[in-house]
Amino acid sequence: MLDADSGRNMVEGEEALEPVSEEEVIEVYHKILFASHISVQTKQYGLMSLTKLSTRFPNATPKIQEIIDAFGSHMQVRTKGLILLCVFVIKNFMLFFPSSID
C-alpha cells in the first residue's frame, strides 16, 4: 500500500512515522556520547558521525560544535576532539570565504 502523504510503501497495519527533528537526533548523540559506560572507540565513532551530520543539519552546527568542544577536555578522546574542532574551523572558513579556496 502506498502512503499518500510520504509516497513510501507501507505494510498493511503499519502506522506512519513522524519525521525526527534535528534537535532530537542531536539529543540522542549527546546522551550516547556522555554516557559513562560507552567505550572510547564508540565515542570516537560517534564524534566522527556527528561531525558528518553537521553538513546535513546546518541549523544544529553550534550545538554539534558545543558537544565536540566538550571532548577537548577528556584526555582519552582529546586528539579526536581537536581534529574535529579543526574540521569545523575549516568548514566555517570555507562557508564565509568560498572564493579564497580557488
- For the cut 50, the answer to whether the pLDDT of residue 2 exceeds it is no
Q: What percent of the chain has pLDDT over 70?
A: 61
Between 27-31, 34-38, 73-77, the lowest mean confidence (pLDDT) is in 73-77
* Integer Cα distance of 88 and 84 in angstroms: 6
Between 16-30, 34-48, 72-86, the lowest mean confidence (pLDDT) is in 72-86
pTM for this model (two decimals): 0.59
Please give the angle made by the CA atoms of 65, 49 and 15, to the nearest 5 degrees. 110
